[in-house]
Every structure is written in structure tokens, then in C-alpha cells.
Chain A
Amino acid sequence: MVRNVVTDCDIIQKALARAEKLAFRGFEINSTSADEDLEELKSLKIDILSGDCPTGVPQIDVDESYSISIPIDKTTAKIEANQVWGILRALESFTQLIFQAADGSLQIHSVDIRDHPRFSWRGILLDSSRHFLPIEIILENLDIMAQNKMNVFHWHLVDSEAFPYPSEKFPNLTAKGAYSPRHHYTVANIKKVIDYARLRGIRVVAEFDTPAHTGSWAGGKPGLLAECSDRNSPSSLIDPTLSQNYQFLEEFFKEALNLFPDEYMHFGGDEVAQDIKDCWQNNKALRKRMQRQGFGGDTKKLLKYYWKRFFESIEKARPGTKRVVWQEAAEAEGQLSKDTLVHVWDGTTIDLAKKSLSQLTRRGHQVIFSSCWYLNRIRYGPDWGYLNGKNFNFRGMFYECDPQDFYGTQEEKDRVLGGEAAMWGEFVDGTNLIPTLWPRASAVAERLWSNPEDTKTPEAAWPRLHEHRCRMVRRGYRAQPINWPDYCPPTCEGDVCLRFTSGAQGSSTEDATCMSGFKYLTMGCEYDAVSGATPNYSFACNTTNCNASPPIFTTNSAGVVVEAELGNLKLPVRVRELVKCYQIDSQDDLDTEEMDLPIFERAAACVQRYIYDYYHGEVSFFTPLNSESDGDQTLIFGQNPLNGDWRLSYPGLVFHLRFSNDYSTLSLNCQHDPCNSDISALLPTEPTVTCYQYDVPAYRDYYYCNPVWNFYKENT
């Protein structure tokens, strides 16, 4: 086997593994063979024309174009892209082409695709200040964004309400500004998000909103904010007359800009008017300083001065940083330089929003657009398609709204880089963010990716969006129904694909058929799909039909193309599912390794910790092993993605975790680990014993472990 750019590229490796998982997750694969006339697709060729694997994060100028060719008469499909990022988009399209035919077989459309995005900035804004968003939800959202080919995660990290951003230089900001010590991120969290996003071709653009919306900075940095008079609520506006504040901002942003590698950072600047009145104009001490510094009583001048000094500090903190600001900051002519990217959000009607667009682009600013995509403004009914009147107080018209549809020259229109769907956090947290956002944001995703000529009406888009919604549900994401009564083609059960399907206690036929998927799986573990490295551990299969052969990956001599044969099932598309295994230090803190786990494994790791912490020292099967070699025991954890069975391995033992139908109980069965015969030999010979049964908490555990845990239960 030849190592080459593609096979060594972590982005490709992981994308392939992901695509395998997502393409088939939730399908009830039964043994019905497909139409004899259909050719089996046996392999997929991946071609990266540039031939390199980017080491850093994606930036704004990446090339996401790709092509796919699936000829009807060949057994090999082909994906081509200029850059790795295009491959990511291509793999998403490729998996979307797979569907379940009426006879139960999985088929793929024969197709030729040439594709590229319309806009380079296709984003989602999440607000982690008004309600804290658990890191798992952010990661889950990144997964879904990738499935909608969106490429910018605009992270509105802090606001007046809370400061969950971890500053190492100014730890007090976090300590005093976060809702609680549990409601903030760690630097590792943020790095994880950035890396997770990178692997999905998504940029992370952080926002630190100043000078207003800064209420939560007050506790950690006394003196930063101006005192406000006549106010019922605390101050949330920076005092621009004190030069030590600029020093602070410079140091603060130096750290932040170091952490977030994207060229752009969002500096806010919205909704200053009322605060300026309350906190600058009506503040006597500040007014005196204004007089002394020569601004007279003109707060506009002072604001302009603030931005000048502020961006000087930013320039010092990280030279060349590209800036994004909300539209108010750029509205005063000449306040900001032309190279500032302006984020348009205001406007109660579409006409006003268009006016802003044309004004700003005429002045030479590049813009991104959010005015019609305030997805937090929910209302009853299918709000994703059409505008309800010209007034969008209730927003809406996600699909129809076109960010280039304003009066201006082509050159001005080209200054629109794209748009973002905003999900402000006043009414959403981990419990409802995902269903509120998806698939409504998919409408925005199509507007920003696709050719407007081909995507004119919501009616034409709906059948595709319907399939896409059900696809997301099948893959296990809580995308809500958005178009009146309907249903999804049956997968595991009803409208919801159960990730934690269990056949153990289930009496219904649904459960039984779902379980039948099990026999198609090879339970490989720690198996490096690309390098073919030997697994450290392998799980025993408990059905006779188990196919133990690993997938075959080959590369050509040029080292550019990889041909992957993904299993040999009797299915039109052949993929075998790998069980991902992760090593976790069972003794203490799981955080570092845990963060490398995808979201489900993370949830599972939590269960594992749960069981371990609680029964440590009380459950007999841990004891003898611990006493033998204290300290370096490892637990290996894996999930069968098709039927949701969890496995946990301990040297010499393999545990099978199984949840009861209502997730009230988790049962653990253990077997001897056939890979570790040394220890096996020392143990009794019964093939399976019930080790323990433990009740998993339901409903009321939102904040313990991690919230994700609950969310999946909610759906199942």
C-alpha cells in the first residue's frame, strides 16, 4: 500500500468514515436483493486535482467546486475536485444520492454533477450567551451544517447576559461573567470546535460584540463600562474615554485572535444608540472627559474615535485581521474603512433591508446578509418558503429572499459575499435549538449555494427538502416538520430513526427487524481504514453471518487517486460499517480524549464514566483487574452505528451495553475478549454473564453529564 496525499489527509479520511456512517445510518437494511438488472457499485474513486492536503483551517477563498460521475454501466463512481474542500461537498452530495427503493434495497442514482457554490459565505449564527449551548450541540450543529453545505459558523460567543468565552489572560471575565462555572467553554472546547469545523470545511468566525452588548464584561473588568443613568438594567456599553480600556481590548483580542485562526473576526457594533444616550450622554464624568479630549458633546465623534482606536488595537493585536461588523457600525459615512465587511441585519421590511444593501455596497463595502434569516423569530406555519406580506417583523421568507436582489450594478452585487441564518439565543438552548433551526436553515442553505435560476419557488424545492429533512431525521438529527402534516418513509420506527435501538427488551417486530442489521456488520475495532493497521482489539460478533473481512483500499502509483472497495455486501452500494473505538483513561478526567469523540461517543463516554464512577470499588469485575495492574487500565468504547448497540471493552472483557426501550435501564453484558487471551484464560469460561444492570436517569438530568444525553433520549 502506498501512502499518499489523499490517504494521509485526515480531512479525507474522516470525511470518508463519516460518509459511510451517514449514508446508511437508520436504513433498515433487509436482505431483499435489488433488481437483477442493476449494476453493483463497487468502488469510489477520489481525485484531488491540486494534490495537497491543507494543514490549516479553511479560509474565505477556498474552492468548493466538485464534480461527481456515476455512470450507469460501470461499477466505479468518481469524484473530482480542485481542493479537499470540494471533496467534502462532493461526498455529501454522493451520500444524498443513495436512497432506499421500494423493494428495500439501497440504490444510488446514476448521475453527472458539476457543482460550485453561489456565495462563499454561507453561515449560521449561534448565540451562546443568552442561553449557554453545550459544546455537543455546537458540534452536532456543525455536522448538520456540513450536510447542508454551509461553511461559516458565526459564533456569537458573548453578550450582555453571559460571558462563556474562556480568557486565560483575564480569567475574571469568565469567572464573573459566565452564568456559572459550568456554563462556560474551555480553550480545549473551542479548539475542538475549530478542528471539528475544519474537518467539515467550515470556518469558525467568532464575534466579540463591542462597544454595546458588553454587560457581562463588567464583573471581570471593572471600569471598562460606562456608568449609565436612568436605567433599570445594568450598563452594557464600553467607556471609550479611558485609554486603559484600549490597552485592555488590545490584550484581550490578542489572545482571542490567537485562538481563532480565521482571517475574519466579527467585532459587533450593533444597537448602540440607546446605550449611547443612557451611558455616554447622561454620564457626567464621561461628558467631562469628552470635553477635555475635545469631542465637545458629540457622541458621534466619540463613537468614531472609539472605532479608530479599537481597530488600531486590533491591528496591533494581529496584523492583517479582516473585520466584520454589524451594519450600524458602518452606517455613519467614513466611520470605518472600505475593507470592512458589513453584516446587514436590520430592516423591518424587505425594502429597507435592500436599501441598506445597496447603500453599503455603493460605498464599496463588502456585505453579508441576515435580515430575512432571523430563524429565532418563530411563528406558526411553514415560514420557510414565502414572505407573508412585505413586512418581515416576523421575518420568514427564508427561501425566497435573495441577497443580491437589490438595486445596484453588477459590481455592487458582487460585493455581497453571502449570508447567515441567525439563531439568537433568547428562547433556545440545548433542548430546542436543533429542531428550531433545522430544516428551516436548509432553505437558507439552498438560497446561498444554488443557482437562483434553478431554485425559484419553494413548491419546487419542497419534495427535495422533504427528503432532505427525512434524511436528517434518519441520520439521527432532530429536524422538525415544517410543511404541514406529512410523514417520513419508514425507517426504524415511525418518524424517528432510533439510534439507541435495542432488541433486548423490545417485543415489537420493528425492533426485531432493526436488529437484523446486526448480522451485516463486521465488528472491527481500532481499525485504521486507510493504513490497514492491525486492530488492537476486535470484538466478537455474536451472530453467525458475521463477515470479518476488512475493506480494501488501493491507491494508484501516482499517489493521487484512492480506490476504496467498501465491503462486499449484496447491495447495490457496498459499504461496511466500522466501529470506532477510542481509548479512554478510565481513572480520571476524560476530558481530553473525550473531546476527540464524535457526539455520540461522547454521550456514551458519559454513561461509561457514570457507571464507572458510581460502581467503582463496588462492582466486582473491576476489582481484580485493577489490583493486578493499577493505573493503566483502559476502556474501549464503541458503537454499532446501525443498530445503536454500544460496546465497552476492558482488558480481557467486552461489555455489551444495551438500553431498554424507554431508556430507563441500561444493561451490561460482558464477554471475554477474544483478542486478549492472556487474561481470558484466567477468567471463568461462561460465554456471557450479566454483569450489572443500572438505571439511567431520565428527563431530569439536563445538566448532569451532558445535555446531549437527554436529547437523544427525547427522540427515541
Chain B
Amino acid sequence: MVEVEIPLGPATARRRQPFSDYSKKDQERLMKICGHSDGKPCITPQCVIVQTKEVQREKWVPVLIGEAFPKPTDSPSKVMRCWLSIGIFLYSATTTFGWFYGRDEPDAWTQGGVFPLPALIKYGHDNITLSPKRFLIQAGDHEECDIVAKSVETYVKKWMFPFPVEAKEDFPEFGLQVTIEEKCPTGVPPDNMIESYSLSISKEGSTLRAQQVWGFLRGLETFSQLIFYDEESNSYLLRTVEIADSPRYTVRGLMLDTSRHFLPKKIIFRQLDLMAQNKMNVFHWHIVDSEAFPYTSEKFPKLHVVGAYSRRHVYTKQDIKDIVDYARIRGIRVMPEFDTPAHTGAWRGVEGLVTRCFDENQVETNLPNLLDASEEKTFEFLSEFFKEVAADFPDAYIHLGGDESDLFIRECWDRNVKIQQFMERNNFYTTTQLENYYFGRLQDIVANATNHKTQVFWQEVYDNNNPSTSAIVHLWKGNTHQNIKDSARIITATGQRVIVSSCWYLNYHKYGADWKDAIANQIESNAKYYYCDPRDFEGSDEQKSLVLGGIVTMWGEMVDATNIEARTWPRASAAAERLWSPAESTKNATLAWPRLHELRSPYPSKNAYKSVAPAEFLDFGWPSLIRCDMGLTKEWNALWEVDDPNFSQFDYTAKKYYICGIHVKRAAFFVLLLTFLEIILYISAFVLGWNPGIVRPFKYVVLPLVFIAALLLWWGLRDHHAFRLLPYIFVTLIQIVFHPVPLLVHLYTKYADKDGDGIFTDKNDDGREDNNILRGMSDVGQTLACMLLIPVVIYLFFIYVVHRCRKYFLDIDAAQNKNLPNVRYQK
């Protein structure tokens, strides 16, 4: 095995571990994780693959990068689990405190936070000042690739630097070196596009590496999100960072419905832009439905002439081409949907295609909505029609709908004499058989007409009609997340691939923060978008990998150009993160909010940063504790070892999340001192016997001191709204309430110095005074053991935390002098 060069920065390089150093078992596991066996490189959360020095561009070797990638076999010890549970308990206790009405604070946002969260991200010490005019993206040969050229232009001119800043002479030049391994693709993004990338930004040099141009696009978006505007210096700053990123799901989509309300092309363009900014990659175009037929067919022009709302409410061939191309440049696939046999009311332009339908009195209804499956003509039409569709939409998938036909089967097939006769002729006893016949024919026809594109069907087709195993099942039903996951599990168990939309029906809008919260009177799956993970079921990895991803739906009944954007975004971003980021690091929507807030409006009032407090106490890191939940011992340790005030993938830079230095420092020491004192007192009392001389100071001195400590903390924290450190208060309260008071009450009532002679004594039966302390010893011991357990554990935790963070406590003055970027200090 040749030596391995790590493409990431020096901090991680130190901790690298060459492949050969791993045990056989680990090596095998790595190969499996990294998909190395077929010789193709990949980047996953668990590994990055880097080049060997000797065989450049040919051979790839997987390497774990350092501590950030602990071996999965490391599970937390029992003790550590105990710490973690305490930490998480305390953390959750703090989150109940908040701003007015317990809501999130209005100025919680990040600077240079990335959304969706990359698989791996580690921020460096510094920020780099960028000048829009001295900023270059060097992509070598790839600069000729239209995807690269156009996206670079869009990002540099529009998104990275949204407004001009004063040109300064001393801005250094900054170049981002782009390496893309594969050639510029000629067509639209394929269904197996590789979107992983790694990004390294440091003062020494910055590189963006990707295997395919699609990964480059995602990396470029990440890069643009790392830029933030700094008002004080009136310049753009760029976070230094090491990122290795890849998506968790391959299908991350948005469905727009252009039938219920027409959406102008420009609105669709804007949604594609927004999708790209959320790293979404499939535009599911529900182009026609019962209400209108805006798709323009050349072979069957009457379809849109009759079916569209008006001559203006159509997409011309050119429009479709433009949209497919616009999406291509952004790495987005365009999957069209032509929903049959139901939802076809608007197809009435072709005569005989839609059946006649009858109400219960056999009176013909004026809204037929189901295709005629009894006519050979229908299938001839479909064959021709899908040939044209296939030419317009080059994507590998085609969505064939198939939903909600049961709503119309009674009216249009059951009560239709012609259909009934056809069924009799063919020995179909139920309409389901007729439907199966329809779908069987449809699948063959479409396979031939579209050169075997992958077919996607809505859930019902799987439930009733069993599509071929190569087809994809698109889930849209289910009232709870469990429901949805069960469906995914059951369907994938049969080997069928699945796309999920059930959790993300964003068209159902409602009052409240539905992207994260449950909403009263709503079924679960109509809210909590951030928390729906369709792969979260018991099953093999292979089975889980059959869940390809999810598509956010924005059905068009109540939206058009006037409100679709405000209603879709940023609620869809919640799903975007769920589908892109590792589940372990995105468990908590409250933690995601500051990043999402920045994504929504990256340039909020800049003056708000004027009074921010130091960042290090931020990394004192209650938010980071949640990462312990990942079960990573080393991760946990690494957390305390960094000397980087910006370390934390949950980078809160909002002022109110900062914890001001001085008060907290003093108060924390004070609490620590008292904690020791108290324990020593207890131990002394225990050892020396219950001497009033010991107990009295405890009662009269220590308790007030503890109170003062609590007040100090409270005072110090209140000034700076640092609710994050409220565990201190919490602990102090536990200490005060649960620990000494009951104990003292217990001791005093049982062993009070009743005769006032200064000795804890009691009269024995024989009337002699007897020192009672030894007799009560076991009793007291039990009490102490019980009552001390919780506080002692918490004290130890305290000590541990303060010990690990001693740097921040001790070096605060030094840190202030360093004047780190991103960090401002409250004097």
C-alpha cells in the first residue's frame, strides 16, 4: 500500500490513519462503505478517498480522516452513557427556556453556516476576507463546460456577493481551485449522478474536489454559503473549513403542479434556483391533471387547445426545453408526470380518450375524469403520445401517476355499459382486473415508447395492481411517520424501490411552525417536516437503500405565481436537510434553525452583530452535547480538545447564544469552590461525627453562599440572555432543594440536640445519656448515600466540564487580545 496524501487541511491531516494501519476487518468494512470494490472512488460520511501520490488520478484508496471519523465499533462506555444522558437531560432542560412565549429568539442565526448540513464539516480558526473583484474560481479545462461556466457566473455575479462593497486596495486575491475528475457531461443529470465533493478552505489554499460536475455544483453552493457579510469591516468574509460531503438520499425533489393553477416559466425558474440552493436534485413536474392541460403536444394539438385554461396558459416546446436546460445547469433532473387513467379530465381534446361517466341515476356527468381502457385506440394514442413526451423530457424517469382512480371507477367504468361489455368479453369480473389490464398495457407501451425509462407510479398502483419490480413506488399516503415508514419497509421488502412524499405535503399550510412542530388538529404527517426520515425502519442496509429519497409536493389547488414561493420556502428546506444530511447530526430542528435562518435571509441587520459576546462560551457547547448521542466516545473527547473557538458544527453566532465572559467565569468558579466546600463539609461531618460546630456553619454559611452563587449566576446570565447556561441554575436548585434541606430536616428531627447540651444524645432506657451517633450511623449513611448520589454525580460532571474547558475560563483575557475573527468580546 502506497502512502496516502490527505487532501484536507493540516488539522485533520495530523490525525489521518493510512488504510494499511487498519485491521483486516476494518479494511473490509471500509471497502464496503466506500464502494471501493468496483474501483470507483466515492466520498461518504464515513470516509473520504484520496489519491495516492504515485499513481495520480488512477488509484483511489479509502482513508479515515482522523478523529472526526471514529470507528463505528467504538460505542460509548456505560459511564460515558451516563454522562451523556445527564448532559442531554440538562440540555433538554435548557431548551425549555426561551424568549417570549418560549419561542426561538429572533436573532438566532449563523454566519457562514451551511444548510443542508454537510456530512462532515469542521470549521477552522480564521476567516478570509474576500473581494468580489479579486476572487477567482479556477476550474482548468472545465471552465469550458457550460454547466461550470454558467453556474460559476451565476454564483459569482448573483449569489455570493449580493451587493457591492467598497473596493479596498489591500484585499488579497483569492482563488478557489476546482478539480473535477470526470469530463463535462453532455446530457441532463443522470439518475445515478454522483454529488459528493470535498471542500477545503484555508489561508494556504482552497480546493473544491468532485468526481462529477454535479458534485462540483453542490460544493459551489456550500462554498457560497460559507461567505458572509461582515458589517464592521464592510467586507465579505469566508469561513475556513474542511468539508467532505455527500447526499444521504439520491432523490431529493420538489413537485410543482401546473395544472390546478398555471405557473409562469419564470416562477418555475426561480423554484429551480431555490432548489439548487437547497441541494435538491429532482423537479417532479406534475404538468397536467383534470383541471388543465398546459403541455403542448405537436401530434395532438387539440389536447392543449381544448384542455388548457387559455392560449396563454400553456408551455410551448421551447418553454419545456428552456426549463429542462435551466434545471440541467443546476444539476436538477426534470421528471414529468402524466397521470392516468384518472385525473385526466383535461385530456378531453382527443375524442374518445376519456370515458363517459354516469351518476347513480344513469345521467351522464359533465366531468368525466377516467381514460377508456376498453378501446384499442386509447392505447394507440398513449403509444404515440409518450413517444413525444420522451423526446421532450430526457430524464431517466417518467412518472405515470395512477392515483385515485377508485374515485371515478364507479362513475366511469362500473356504470358505463360499453366498459361493462368489454369486461364481459374479456372475462374481467372486477374493475381492478380492468385496471390491471390497463396498467399492464401502459407499462409495455411506455417502455417501448420511451426506450425503457424507469417508471414511477403513485402508491395505489402498488397497492392494487402490482407494477413491475423495476418500477418505483411513490408513497403519498399515511397519517403518521410510523405509518409511512411501515409502508416503506413493507414495499422495499419486496424489492421495489420507493420515493416518499407522504411527509411533505407542503400545500397543506396551517398556522404555526409546521416545519418542526406538531400542529393541533393536524395529522402528524402534515407537520414536523424536519423529522420525517423514511429510512428509519428496521431492515437491512440493502433494503433501506431501496428508499431512494423524497419529493416535497406543492399541489396547486391554492397556489399560483402570487404565493407559491412564499408558501414553499423555506418550509421545503426542512425536507432538503432531512434528505441530504446524515440523520445523526440533524436530529434537532431547534439546532438547525439558526442555519436555516441564515439560509432564508443571509443578510439580516448587520448592526446586530455590534454587541456580540465571545464565541468560546458558545462552544462550552450544550448544543454540541447532542452529538454525544451519536454514540461516539472519541467525538466526545475531541469536543473538549479543540482550542478553536469556532469549533462546532452547530455554530451559533447569534449574540444571545453567546455567553458573556466575566460573570459566568466568576460565577462558575464560585459554584465550583462551593461545591468542593460542601462535599468536604459533608465528608468531615461524616468522619468527625455530627458535631454542631460543623453543622452550624454549614447551615448558616454554606447555604447562603450557595444562594449567593445562584444569584450571581442568575444575574450574570440575565444580563446577556445566556439561557444556554441555565443548567447552572438548575444544578444549584437541585442542590438547594433536594440535597441539604431534607437531609438537615431529617437529621435535626431525628437526632436533634433536645436538651441543648451541645451533644447529639438521647436517653437510653436505663436513663443514661448515650452518644447516639454510632447507633444512627447506618441510618444516616443510607440517607446520605441516597441523597448525595444525584448531586455528587452532577458535581463530578461539573468538574469534568470545567476541567475540560479550563482554557476558556483561564485564557479569556488572552483570547480577548487575540482578536479572533468572528469573535467579538463584550468588555
Tell me if chain B binds chain A: yes
Instruction: Name A residues whose Cβ lies closer than 8 Å to a Cβ of B.
Output: 160-162, 179-183, 215, 232-234, 236, 376-382, 393-394, 427, 431-432, 435-436, 473, 478-482, 484-487, 489-490, 493-496, 507-508, 510, 610, 613-614, 661-662, 664, 695, 697-705, 714-716
With beta carbons under 8 angstroms apart, the residue of B97, B158, B262, B511 that contacts A698 is B158
A704, B163: Cβ atoms under 8 Å? yes
Asked if B163 and A161 sit within 8 Å, CB to CB, the answer is no
**A662-B159 in contact (CB<8A):** no
Q: How far is the CA of A199 from the CA of B102 in the complex (A)?
A: 42
Q: When chains A and B are docked, how far (Å) is the Cα of A180 from the Cα of B157?
A: 28
- Name the residue of chain A whose CB is nearest to the CB of B310: A490
> When the two chains form their complex, are residues B312 and A494 in contact, meaning their CB atoms are under 8 A apart?
yes
Would B605 and A695 count as touching, CB distance under 8 A? Answer: no
Task: Indicate whether B26 reaches chain A with its CB closer than 8 angstroms.
Answer: no
Q: Which 3 A-B pairs have the closest CB atoms?
A: A180-B605, A490-B312, A432-B566
Q: Could you tell me which B residues sit within 8 Å of A by CB distance?
A: 96-102, 106-107, 154, 157-159, 162-164, 259-264, 266-267, 269-270, 273-274, 277, 291-292, 309-313, 316, 318-319, 507-513, 521, 556-563, 565-567, 601-608
B312 touching A510, Cβ below 8 Å? yes
Task: Please pick, from B264, B511, B558, B605, the residue contacting A376 in the complex, using a CB distance under 8 A.
Answer: B511
Verify A480–B559 contact, CB threshold 8 A. Answer: yes
Tell me whether A161 and B158 are in contact (CB under 8 A).
no
* Chain A residue with Cβ nearest B165: A614
Known: A380-B508, A698-B273. A481 touches B261 (CB 8 A): yes
Contacts A481-B560, A487-B313 supplied; 6 other A-B pairs, CB < 8 Å: A232-B98, A394-B521, A480-B559, A699-B158, A699-B277, A704-B603
Whole-angstrom distance between the Cβ of B612 and the nearest chain A Cβ: 12
Smallest CB separation, B450 vs chain A (Å): 28
Q: Is the CB of B101 within 8 A of A233?
A: yes
- Contact A381:B97 (CB < 8 A) given known A431-B566, A493-B264: no
Decide: A233 and B601 in contact? CB cutoff 8 A: no
- Nearest residue, chain B, Cβ from A434: B562
CB-based A-B contact count at 8 angstroms: 181
Q: From residue A310, how far is it (CB to closest CB) to chain B in Å?
A: 23
CA distance A232 to B561 in the complex (A): 41
B561 touches A496 (CB 8 A): yes
A699 to B275, CA, bound (A): 12
Q: In this complex, what residue of A is CB-closest to B274?
A: A699
A478 contacts across to B, CB distance below 8 A: 562-563
Whole-angstrom CA separation of A431 from B565 in the bound complex: 9
- B96–A232 contact, CB under 8 A? yes
Contacting residues, chain B, for A610 (C-beta < 8 A): 163-164
Whether A697 lies near B98 (C-beta < 8 A) is no
Residue of B nearest to A487 (CB): B309
The reply to whether B262 and A613 form a contact with Cβ atoms under 8 Å apart is no
Task: For B260, list chain A residues within 8 Å (CB).
Answer: 484-485
Q: List 16 A-B contacts (CB under 8 A).
A: A161-B100, A182-B606, A232-B98, A233-B98, A236-B100, A376-B511, A380-B510, A480-B559, A493-B264, A495-B262, A495-B313, A496-B560, A697-B158, A699-B158, A699-B273, A702-B601
Chain A CB count within 10 A is highest, among B96, B557, B567, for B557
Distance between B93 CB and nearest chain A CB, rounded to angstroms: 11
Residues of A within 8 A of B602 (CB): 700
Q: Whole-angstrom distance between the alpha carbons of A697 and B132 in the complex?
A: 13
Q: Return the contact of B97 from the options A232, A484, A485, A699 (Cβ within 8 A).
A: A232
Question: In the complex, what residue of chain B is closest to A180 when comparing beta carbons?
Answer: B605
Bound form: Cα–Cα A180–B109 in Å:
14
Also in contact, A486 and B312, with CB within 8 A (given A179-B106, A614-B164): no
Kindly provide the distance from the CB of B91 to the nearest chain A CB, expressed in whole angstroms: 16
A183-B607 Cα distance, complex, nearest whole Å: 10
Q: How far is the CA of A436 from the CA of B274 in the complex (A)?
A: 21
A703 CA to B566 CA, complexed, in Å: 16
Q: Nearest CB to that of B718 among chain A residues?
A: A234
With a 10 A CB-CB cut-off, give which of B102, B273, B561, B604 has the most chain A CB atoms.
B561
Asked if A703 and B603 make an inter-chain contact with CB atoms under 8 angstroms apart, the answer reads yes
Cross-chain contact A435 with B563 (CB below 8 angstroms): yes
User: Would A482 and B558 be within 8 Å (CB), given that A160-B100, A180-B605, A487-B261 are in contact?
Assistant: yes
* A703 & B604 in contact (Cβ 8 Å cutoff): yes
> A496, A613, A700, A702: which contacts B562 (Cβ < 8 A)?
A496
B261 neighbours in A (Cβ, 8 Å): 481, 485-487, 495
Known: A490-B311, A701-B162, A704-B603. A179 touches B560 (CB 8 A): no
> In the bound complex, how far is the Cα of B512 from the Cα of A699, in angstroms?
24
Shortest B312–chain A CB gap in Å is 4
Query: Complex formed: what's the CA distance from A473 to B561 in Å?
Result: 10
Q: Tell me the smallest distance from the CB of B311 to a CB of chain A, in Å.
A: 7
**Cα A481 to Cα B262 with chains together (Å):** 11
Contact of A705 (CB < 8 Å), options: B163, B277, B311, B605: B163
Contacting residues, chain A, for B603 (C-beta < 8 A): 700-704
Docked CA distance A435–B567 (Å): 10
Q: A233 near B100 (CB under 8 angstroms)?
A: yes
Residues of chain B lying within 8 A (CB to CB) of residue A714: 270, 565-566
Q: Which residue of B158, B159, B274, B319 has the most chain A CB atoms within 10 A of its CB atom?
A: B158
In the bound assembly, the distance between CA atoms of A571 and B270 in angstroms comes to: 37
Which of A393, A482, A699, A705 counts the most chain B CB atoms within 10 A? A699
